[in-house]
Chain A
Amino acid sequence: MRNIGTVIKKEFARFFGDKRLLFTSCIMPGLMIYVIYSIMGGAISTMINCDADYVPQAYVAYMPDSVRNFFEGEGVILESVAPSDAEAIISRIADKDADICVVFPEKFERETADYDVLAANGKPAPNVEVYYNSSSPPSSDMYGKVMAALDGYEKSIANKFDVNRPEGEAGGGYDLATDKDVSGRVLSSVLPLLLIIFLYSGCLAIAPESIAGEKERGTIATLLVTPIKRSELAIGKIISITVIALLCGLSSSLGTLLSMPKLLGAGGTGELGIQAFYAPRDYALLVIVILSTILVIISLISLTSAYAKTVREASLIASPLMLAVMLAGVSGMFGTESRAAYYLIPIYNSVHSMRGILAFDYLPLNAATTALSNLGYALAGGFALARMFDSERIVFTR
């Protein structure tokens, strides 16, 4: 047990002590993702808001005078309409013909002035309804600004009204997006495959060096004449490679997360973007799928590295393997097959699951199948690796 720790410490000292290795395998992928996605996001957003002087179709009913200043402060110009027209506008928002519609209670100012939180006794505060469509960038943009304005106003009068109260008239249905798909589809179409590529090349920067490299340079034999057990060495290697690869995966994921707002928020919904989109469960599943995928990729490349005599040979074998991985990834990208059995195919299942989660279209069972089967493959790979370390080939080959 202690030997495993000693090996892990050594592997970490090797990796984290080497600034160049650390940069190329861990930091650069995250940075690259961030830059690429940000540029892509920028390109997409200019594609969507092609004309810079787009005038938002924004409407308001029963606009109170006291609120007007706050809207102007945020640069929000709303066209006043008769309350009876609101219905029609709301359906136009759903069709993305209009961007936003704010409906105040008729006697907003008096109601808020009369409202006393302590004396209210459960009587709800006045509710302001803000109808928008999150799948339309200008609408999301306006929504952000309107919320900021209302927020400012609300603070000035000590929380005497609500905005978009869930049990209000619309029953929570203020967001009129019928498909969040728009942005989700953008993400789900670029993210999974890129992520696989980065994870694969991240692992490729670590595992062959650590396993085939030690074989090639004859340092593994030096280790094996100490009392350490070969299985201990194998386990120590797997654990350290896994941790390092996870860190690199984290870097890639961080790059992705940080660039998501740019990718999604075509037009400045910025901070709102992601939170409004994915539920915590989606994130958790995404992370689990990614982690299980890293484990599969690691065991693949580790086995290759243990088989190969040199780092060069390991990368040589890994390139056709990469092709196979890409193939599985691409078919996962376009495959429409959603029968559970297909989620047993490694890489295909990862890409398919990630795509589904990002596009809000997945069965939890399939994501679970993906994670569990990947875990199974990784475990089997670990055992196979320990066996390979036990063979003579790991020490001296000709």
Chain B
Amino acid sequence: MKEFLVVDNLSKTFKLSAKQRKIEKTESKRKVAVNGLSFSAREGEIFGLLGPNGAGKTTTLRILATLIKPDSGDAFLNGKSILENPGEIRRKIGFLTSELKLEEFFTPNYLFNFFSALHGIEPERRDRRRKELFGIFGIDDFAEVKVSAMSSGMKQKTSLAISVVHDPGFIIFDEPTNGLDVLTARVVTDFLAALKAEGKTVILSTHIFSLVEKLCDRVGVIIDGEMMRCGALAEVKAGRDMEDVFFDIYREKKGEIA
């Protein structure tokens, strides 16, 4: 299968403010969040970036979504550099995280139209797409309700629908089920499976082993911004439990578990 996304030696270091140093309990003025990261994801597959908190997953995905720039390295979507064509890349990707919020003042209908306009989607296609997505997520009854008046599950579903207004071929999903109740989490995982069935490419990050085992075709284990192991799920697991495999890798990198 074709390598749809190629990540090549990405690095990102953050400067830490005095306040951040206090929170992170460190003297160092810099934090290496991503350190020479390389991997690739194949078309029509779900790639899982697995790692503990602070491993650099979010930073990596933000770089891929062109929200922040790497200090060095690059990534190529279908052969196109994300650094050289950020606008074009954003046209082709959908990016979802629980930190991306919708303006509470507006209704799903308004926001759907607004984001469709930013993606340059004609009204006719937009309305077809709305019918489809609002149906999948059960938003129809809430289409004219302000986001501020919706439950958090409903907000998440609306975000989901809006992040794929443009029917992207490549979807980036940071901690897809974090903070969701079980029902909404189920809607999300079903949606990811459906995307894969449609032939889309998905890259997600998580610290939940079962999610990787259930959904992913390939997995990359990331610790301290470095890629420790990367390959097909079965290959990485080698017949064992994902959790056990992960902690072996973790011990290998950090010594004993703190």
Contact of A6 among B91, B101, B117 (CB under 8 A): B117
Is B105's CB under 8 angstroms from A14's CB? Answer: yes
Indicate if B119 sits at the interface (CB-CB under 8 A). Answer: yes
Residues of A within 8 A of B118 (CB): 3, 6, 223, 226-228
In the complex, are the beta carbons of B105 and A17 less than 8 A apart?
Answer: yes
A308 to chain B, nearest CB (A): 14
A18 touches B67 (CB 8 A): no
Q: How far is the CB of B87 from chain A (nearest CB, A)?
A: 5
* Nearest-neighbor residue (CB-CB) of B20 within chain A: A398
Once the chains bind, are A225 and B65 in contact (CB under 8 Å)?
yes
Q: How does the 8 Å CB contact mask read for A305-335 relative to B, with 1 for contact and 0 for none?
A: 0000000000000000000000000000000
Cβ-based interface call for B120 (8 A):
yes
Answer whether residue A2 sits at the interface, using C-beta atoms and an 8 A cutoff: yes
Contact partner, B101, options A219, A396, A398, Cβ 8 Å: A219
Interface size range on A against B? 20 to 34
- Least distance between B146 CB and chain A CB atoms (Å): 10
Interface presence of A166 (CB below 8 A): no
Contact status B67-A225, CB under 8 Å: yes
Minimum C-beta distance from A223 to chain B (A)? 7
> Do the beta carbons of A218 and B117 come within 8 Å of each other?
no
- In residues 369-398 of chain A, which contact B (Cβ within 8 Å)? 392, 395-396, 398
Q: Answer whether residue A10 sits at the interface, using C-beta atoms and an 8 A cutoff.
A: yes
Contacts of A17 in B (CB 8 A): 105
Q: In the complex the two chains form, what is the Cα distance from A217 to B91 in whole Å?
A: 24
Interface residues on B, range: 20 to 34
Residue from B66, B88, B100, B120 in contact with A222 in the complex, judged by beta carbons closer than 8 Å = B100
B20 CB contacts on chain A under 8 angstroms: 398
Q: Mark B71-96, 1 if CB is under 8 A from A, else 0.
A: 00000000000000001101101110
Q: Hey, which chain A residues are within 8 Å of B65, CB to CB?
A: 225
Is there an interface contact between A229 and B99, defined as CB atoms closer than 8 Å? no
B191 beta carbon closer than 8 Å to chain A: no
**Do the beta carbons of A396 and B91 come within 8 Å of each other?**
no
Q: Indicate whether A2 sits within 8 Å of B120 (C-beta atoms), given known contacts A218-B101, A219-B101, A219-B103.
A: yes
Cβ–Cβ contact B106 & A13, under 8 A: yes
B-side contacts of A218, CB under 8 Å: 99-101
In the complex, A76 Cα to B94 Cα: how many Å?
80
Give the residue of B62, B87, B100 whose beta carbon is less than 8 angstroms from that of A227: B87
Question: For the complex, is A224 an interface residue (Cβ under 8 Å from B)?
Answer: yes
Instruction: List B residues at the A interface (Cβ < 8 Å).
Output: 17, 20, 23, 62, 65-69, 87-88, 90-91, 93-95, 99-106, 110, 114-115, 117-120, 159, 162-163
